[in-house]
Structure 1
Amino acid sequence: MKSPPQTQVVIVTGASSGIGEATVRRLVRGGARAVLFARRAERLAALCREIDPAGKNTLAVAGDITADADRRRLVAETLARFGRIDALVNNAGYGQRGPLELVPVDAIRRNFETNVFSLVALTQLVAPVLRAQGGGRIVNIGSVAGRITRPMSATYDSTKFALEGITDGLRGELKPFGIRVILVRPGFIRTEFGDVARGVSADTLPQTGPYGPFAGAFASGARKLRRVAGEPDDIARLVDKALRAGYPKTHYNGPAHARFFLFLKWLLPVRMLDWALRMRRS
């Protein structure tokens, strides 16, 4: 990037909690100027006051990532305040759970609207700015789930599969303009993500009926995986590395268990991986 790391202006979506919040904290601590975008205005404001009491290096913009007017306002307010954009961290998203047979198509559309289409739409607004400035970075927060689909999670996982393709294509399209596009794949991280997923999926993870035993096994497996879950700053560290590196990797995976699962994906035949992931009746 042409701007040294300490002067980067970085937009972070989904910045009010979890990976987004940890990323903002790390970036501001390192001297960057961060633009925080999320729906929860009060939480954004409180975070800015905490990490930047003087108010010189942060800007909170409350809005809905799925709203075109809010996305345009985010870019406009960033440019009005800081005069440039050096990087975009596409982090906003949520997980829709449940067997695909039972998830309403409208719920699937909503998950894709947030996790995929809104990300693309914001990128389309930021890319011309980066190109005009001679370069920049776009960091997409994907998931190990974008490489390994689990039963009861086909909707969410498919949004992350889509992001894999979008990131790879975009990387080649923008490289001639000095814009690096990087994918960060988190594994299991201790955030509000699981609680949100359970809330939006309350009607699609049945406790009874033909899928009841499988849903129970899914929940049990998720509880066990929390034991190896990483912290949000584990991923924030990878984002920071992707923004600072002179020659960033195309993909960053973390924490350690994420790299292990991706290794198994590479190593095992598809049928064996399916067997390992299949939910059995209890």
Structure 2
Amino acid sequence: MHLFITGGTGFIGGHLLDALGKTAHRTTALCRRPEQAAQRPAERRTWICKPMDALEAADLRGVDVLVHLASTDVPPRPSEWQRLFYWNVDVLVRVLLAAQSGGVRRVVVAGTFAEYGRSFEKYDAMPCDAPLLPTYGYAASKAAAFQVASAFAIERGIEMCYLRIFSAFGEGQYAQNFWPALKKAALEGEDFPMTPGEQVRDYVDVEQVARAFLCAAESGGVQAGVPWVRNVGSGVPVSMKAFAEHWWSVWNAPGRLLVGALPYRPNELMRCVPRPGVDLLVG
């Protein structure tokens, strides 16, 4: 099978490429700069270096599955609404059109649990068909991307998998995210200020996330014109405080966890976990 990956130089994309390197699949990945490709050479892998909004049908001919991981301004990076909707929605339309014209039979698109937004106040564990009620720009752009991808698949009769990722963590993650910031403080012997940590999350290792995307690419249970939607998580809810204490112990950190030193964010959602069973895809 031939897979085309957008976002291959990103956090999840890098781990997916590592997982694909252990298979017999052929991979083409998109990058913006040639030096990014030079850093990740591998057998059965080709790089195309161009902006994502310049992808054409010719770039995707011979591809069986497009895995669309690329996304702009993932939190906690600052974001701007027009930029979010251009790259996460408008460019997605261009990529889908190019994929169809190029003969791609399946598209696997990365979403986020943040699309559910206020629905977390109504569900103890989130089903993948819950209403999308996002509360900020990035989440709204991804919810719009889902609607685009879903309607495109139905109208054009293509196979489409949409995977909403819960709280992914691991090596290569943006430094300001919770887990890498926690690790940096632990290894440098610093104290780590945090909220009271009562928020409950589903923390899922990025390698599990990569395997979930590979599973979606390989699955035989996807029908053309019928969007296949799953949540991606570990299936193990845990409070942020317990998660932090676990890793603080793993790293044998000499500093202190300053639990309660920071306030909760405005509009903090206190429980964000997926429903187990058929709604949940664990790699």
TM category, shorter: 0.5 to 0.7
The residue type equivalent to 1:33 in the other structure is R
1:235 Cα deviation after fit: 1.7
Segments of 5+ residues of structure 1 without an aligned counterpart are 1-7, 199-218, 261-273
CA gap 1:227/1:113 in 2 versus in 1, 3 angstroms: same
Correspondence for 2:146: 164
The 8 Å contact of residues 12 and 20 in structure 1, kept in 2 or not, is answered as yes
Q: Secondary structure at the match of 2:108?
A: strand
Correspondence for 1:231: 205
The 8 Å contact of residues 186 and 258 in structure 1, kept in 2 or not, is answered as no
The residue type equivalent to 1:155 in the other structure is G
Post-superposition CA distance 1:224-273 (Å, at most 9, x none):
8799632222122111111211113711212135999xxxxxxxxxxxxx
1:28 Cα deviation after fit: 3.3
Correspondence for 1:187: 166
1:275 Cα deviation after fit: 7.4
195, 209, 214: which is aligned to 1:240? 214
Counterparts of 2:196 and 2:167, CA distance in 1: 9
8, 12, 24: which is aligned to 1:15? 8
The 8 Å contact of residues 37 and 47 in structure 2, kept in 1 or not, is answered as yes
The 8 Å contact of residues 38 and 63 in structure 1, kept in 2 or not, is answered as yes
CA gap 1:227/1:37 in 2 versus in 1, 3 angstroms: same
1:167 Cα deviation after fit: 2.4
Counterparts of 2:166 and 2:213, CA distance in 1: 14
CA gap 1:116/1:226 in 2 versus in 1, 3 angstroms: farther
Q: Determine if the alignment matches structure 1 residue 60 to structure 2 residue 53.
A: no
1:63 Cα deviation after fit: 2.4
- The TM-score normalised by the length of structure 2 is 0.62
Counterparts of 2:154 and 2:173, CA distance in 1: 31
Q: Secondary structure at the match of 1:111?
A: helix
The residue type equivalent to 1:63 in the other structure is K
CA gap 1:152/1:76 in 2 versus in 1, 3 angstroms: closer
Correspondence for 1:121: 94
Structural mapping, 1:51-200, within 5 Å = 51-52=42-43, 57-65=44-52, 67-68=53-54, 71-72=55-56, 75-77=57-59, 79=61, 84-95=62-73, 107-130=80-103, 136-148=105-117, 154-175=136-157, 179-190=158-169, 194-195=174-175
CA gap 1:236/1:97 in 2 versus in 1, 3 angstroms: closer
CA gap 1:33/1:126 in 2 versus in 1, 3 angstroms: same
Q: Identity of aligned pairs, percent?
A: 18
1:146 Cα deviation after fit: 1.6
1:11 Cα deviation after fit: 0.9
1:161 Cα deviation after fit: 0.9
Counterparts of 2:149 and 2:99, CA distance in 1: 15
CA gap 1:26/1:162 in 2 versus in 1, 3 angstroms: same
- Of Structure 1 and Structure 2, the greater strand share is in 2
CA gap 1:224/1:137 in 2 versus in 1, 3 angstroms: farther
- Of Structure 1 and Structure 2, the greater helix share is in 1
The residue type equivalent to 2:11 in the other structure is G
Post-superposition CA distance 1:43-95 (Å, at most 9, x none):
32221x2x32xxxx111112222x33xx12xx53454xxxx111111110133
How many positions carry a matched residue from both structures?
Answer: 211
253, 256, 278: which is aligned to 2:234? 256
CA gap 1:42/1:122 in 2 versus in 1, 3 angstroms: same
Segments of 5+ residues of structure 2 without an aligned counterpart are 121-132, 179-192, 239-265, 271-283
